[in-house]
Structure 1
Amino acid sequence: MVRLTGGDPSLLRRINSAVVLHALRGSGPLTLTELTRSTGLSRPTVEGVVEGLMESGLVVEAAAGSADARKQGRPARRFRFHAESGHLLGVEIGVHQVRVLLADLGGRMLGSYCYPVDELLDVDTRLERVRAGVAESLRRAEVARSTLWAVGVGSPGIVEANGRVGLSTAMPGWTGLALGERLGRSFKCPVLVENDANAAALGEHWLGAARGNDDVVFVMAGLSPGAGSLIGGRLHRGFGGAAGEIGALHLLGREATPERLLSTTDRPLDPLDEVAVTRVFSLAREGDARATEAVRRFLRRLVHDVAALALALDPELVVLGGWATGLDDVVEPLRDALARYCLRPPRVALSALGEEAVATGALRLALDHVEEQLFAVDRTAAAVLR
């Protein structure tokens, strides 16, 4: 409970407002008496805070329920967090698609939209497709752009803290792109950019297979697999945002490149794209011997790469996403390998969010930013007390 005296009155008001907002968001509609009891603030303080929050649109009076209607006399007014007063976007910018998730300030999903894009698009055209996809999503949901509080973005590549893409092998034109800055020109709210595997890890931790688990590795299986890791419930990005780039392990000389691993001939697979790879997996399912062996080689390297990461981080859970969601035989080989290599093998599960994992994690980034602005009382209070 925050109890402060003296100091900056405006800062104290902000802290009190955050305390009241946190109580309303966590408990639903409350009366002034209930708010006074749950926050520990005085009745006059709570009344003043609620009045100010109603003026700002963050709090509204809740409609009377059936139980209140049956009571004699005038029921006590109840107030709730006005989550509909603002909106958040989670955007995945992938090689072949742009996916947009829309939610209110409470994180309640309002819409999911997906737009296919050509993998060969140049940077400017791809960014224009992203803007068009966002505009269309907002139009279909009848949400004004002015109500956006934050936009989270997940995209392939090593993403630096300032939103710049340091390296992207999946989309070469992305390398060196100040993605956060470029997208920020289209919005009047913060734009937060993260690597796609990192974003997916956040999404699975929030609403997917990793709920309730704070030490998690999410593996984005693909031509160049990547991973996002949560340690103690917090995203581990590494010094420059390159943590989890297990697709580079073949550079150590231990394994062949994906071009050779997935080849069904004596020559490297060329071009190495999703169409060619999909054909290899399809042939394997049909019983083609060379394709089956190619898939086995690729999965063996993937398993070794994940095992190396699990040995380093000792996660409670490994979640498989990307291509792994379409492969029935990837879980057991990984479990067997982790049992051989790890002192304490983690549990293994397939992604529960599937194709929406990255966009869901991007939305969580936006929600985290809003919650930091509205509900981060402890940090502010600590600064005052110092």
Structure 2
Amino acid sequence: MANMISDDLRGLFYEREVDSPVAKVVRALSGHGAVSTSQIARSTGLARSTVSTILADLKRSSLVVEVEVETRTTGSAGRPALAHSLNPEAGTCIGILLGLGEIRIILADVAHSVLADVTLPLESHYGPEKATRVLRHAIDNLYKEHSLPYSGLLGVGVAVSGPLAPSGKVMRASMLPGWAGVDLRGIFEPALEKPIFADNESNCAALAEMMWGAATGADNFVLFKLDSGVGGAIVAGGKVLSGAAGAAGEFGHMLVDQHGPLCRCGNRGCLELYCSATTLEAEARRLLGRPAPVADIIDMASRGDVGFQRLIADAGDVAGRALAVIGSVVNAPLFVISGALATAGDLLLSPLRMSYEKHALIKRTDLAQGEFPSFVPGRFLSNDNCMGAVGLVLRHSGRLT
């Protein structure tokens, strides 16, 4: 029964006639999870009566189920309301992060439930052939452990730590130098025998925050990621912008000082040399005489170490200045701050906000209350990129063709 449902869903999921009303409804359910008839009608542009008819047919075929979701009104407790969701048995998807020294895998169903989340440590500079072998073995094991049919896997999303050209080729600025020029579809699709969706990891992070996190309901925002490197994403009209060569949102390589230190990208004085976790860790090592991961730096700062408080605040100040430049270009109403440094909370966000307000063109006093841009930490600070890779499949975006 489950295999038959998966086959039916696959036919709708990858239907070539993208304007088919049934396919529109299926993709709305896939992309948004449990939603009401009215929400589907708004997102698809279909008449509510048309959506109701399609949902009734999909329920009869077991592709769609009714679920209870909690609604809240001001001053009252939550109460259950009926919504529609794809049947969890209808299919699964995989999200993969090709990270530095590790590969992370998330297995989820089409109802947006995470079934497994595993991290596979590897040598720092593993190559495509090694990654392909490890992934196929690990994914096969996950499906066996959860008694799931591999035939139900609808697609695989891949998040990569660097720019990705529209063709699926990894660009040279990737944090995985051995992957420059690699065609992701060419290596993964034959091995996994499933459609491949892929994007830059920061774009994936933005997708995760838009689907389930701090940017839920926001159609226009900037994600700014302070991690081993500095990255980001620009979301406009509900779409993550990729740019002509897949490098939109590569904030870490904004020029800060043309005579500054040499960056891994080949330029000098890039932003990530001044406010990334890697930079803070290097300074902490100089001060302590031993390695200090960013989690330790944040812990010591939280316990009152003024030196490390200053180190984090300085990073926030530089980041705020950079965001003021970005804000003058895109005038975003919301900035989602992500990455390892975002776990510092107000130790980072307070100086970042102050720096932004100091350097931004439009000041808080120029606007009515509530109109100045908001700065919020991301919800998925430890796995946003891999969650977003799952979202690539559910939203049917980032498909490599």
State if a TM-score over 0.5 links the two structures.
yes
Secondary structure at the counterpart of residue 133 of structure 1: helix
Q: 1:153 aligns with which of 158, 173, 180?
A: 158
**Equivalences for 1:326-365 in 2 at 5 Å?**
326-328=343-345, 329-342=347-360, 343=362, 345-365=372-392
1:217-256 superposed Cα distances (whole Å, 9 cap, x missing partner):
1111024200011011111111111111121124642765
AA aligned to 1:369 is H
AA aligned to 1:117 is P
AA aligned to 2:168 is G
8 A contact 2:163–2:174 mirrored in 1: no
8 A contact 1:320–1:349 mirrored in 2: yes
- When residues 245 and 16 of structure 1 are mapped into structure 2, their CA distance, relative to the original with a 3 A threshold, is closer
Match of 2:328 in 1: 311
Q: CA deviation at 1:347?
A: 0.2
1:20-46 superposed Cα distances (whole Å, 9 cap, x missing partner):
758998558xxxxxxx982299x9xx8
**More moved, 125-134 vs 249-258:** 249-258
AA aligned to 1:118 is L
**Equivalences for 1:233-382 in 2 at 5 Å?**
233-250=238-255, 252-253=257-258, 257-258=273-274, 263-264=282-283, 281=298, 284=301, 291-328=308-345, 329-342=347-360, 343=362, 345-369=372-396
Q: 1:39 aligns with which of 46, 50, 53?
A: 50
So what's the TM-score if we normalise by structure 1?
A: 0.71
1:120-176 superposed Cα distances (whole Å, 9 cap, x missing partner):
142133343333332233223222211111111112001111221112442222222
- When residues 261 and 324 of structure 1 are mapped into structure 2, their CA distance, relative to the original with a 3 A threshold, is closer
Q: CA deviation at 1:186?
A: 2.3
AA aligned to 1:349 is V
Secondary structure at the counterpart of residue 392 of structure 2: helix
- Provide the rounded CA distance (Å) in 1 between the counterparts of 2:354 and 2:393: 37
Q: CA deviation at 1:86?
A: 1.8
| Number of residue pairs matched by the alignment | 332
Match of 1:122 in 2: 126
Q: CA deviation at 1:58?
A: 6.2
**Equivalences for 1:68-147 in 2 at 5 Å?**
82-105=87-110, 107-123=111-127, 124-147=129-152
- Provide the rounded CA distance (Å) in 1 between the counterparts of 2:28 and 2:253: 46
Q: CA deviation at 1:261?
A: 6.5
Q: 1:212 aligns with which of 209, 217, 225?
A: 217
- When residues 19 and 365 of structure 1 are mapped into structure 2, their CA distance, relative to the original with a 3 A threshold, is closer
Q: CA deviation at 1:297?
A: 3.5
1:246-302 superposed Cα distances (whole Å, 9 cap, x missing partner):
21124642765347776549989999xx96555655565566666555444433322
- Provide the rounded CA distance (Å) in 2 between the counterparts of 1:205 and 1:100: 20
AA aligned to 1:113 is D
- When residues 58 and 88 of structure 1 are mapped into structure 2, their CA distance, relative to the original with a 3 A threshold, is farther
- When residues 269 and 176 of structure 1 are mapped into structure 2, their CA distance, relative to the original with a 3 A threshold, is farther
Q: CA deviation at 1:195?
A: 0.7
- Provide the rounded CA distance (Å) in 1 between the counterparts of 2:246 and 2:27: 31
- Provide the rounded CA distance (Å) in 2 between the counterparts of 1:11 and 1:127: 29
1:349-374 superposed Cα distances (whole Å, 9 cap, x missing partner):
1111222211221111101119x9xx
User: Percent same amino acid at aligned positions?
Assistant: 23
8 A contact 2:312–2:348 mirrored in 1: no
- When residues 275 and 242 of structure 1 are mapped into structure 2, their CA distance, relative to the original with a 3 A threshold, is farther
Unmatched runs of 5 consecutive residues or more in structure 2: 1-14, 38-46, 67-83, 262-272, 364-371
8 A contact 1:95–1:117 mirrored in 2: no
8 A contact 1:262–1:297 mirrored in 2: no
- Provide the rounded CA distance (Å) in 1 between the counterparts of 2:25 and 2:200: 34
- When residues 118 and 297 of structure 1 are mapped into structure 2, their CA distance, relative to the original with a 3 A threshold, is farther
- Provide the rounded CA distance (Å) in 1 between the counterparts of 2:388 and 2:100: 17
- Provide the rounded CA distance (Å) in 1 between the counterparts of 2:85 and 2:213: 27
- Provide the rounded CA distance (Å) in 1 between the counterparts of 2:207 and 2:173: 20
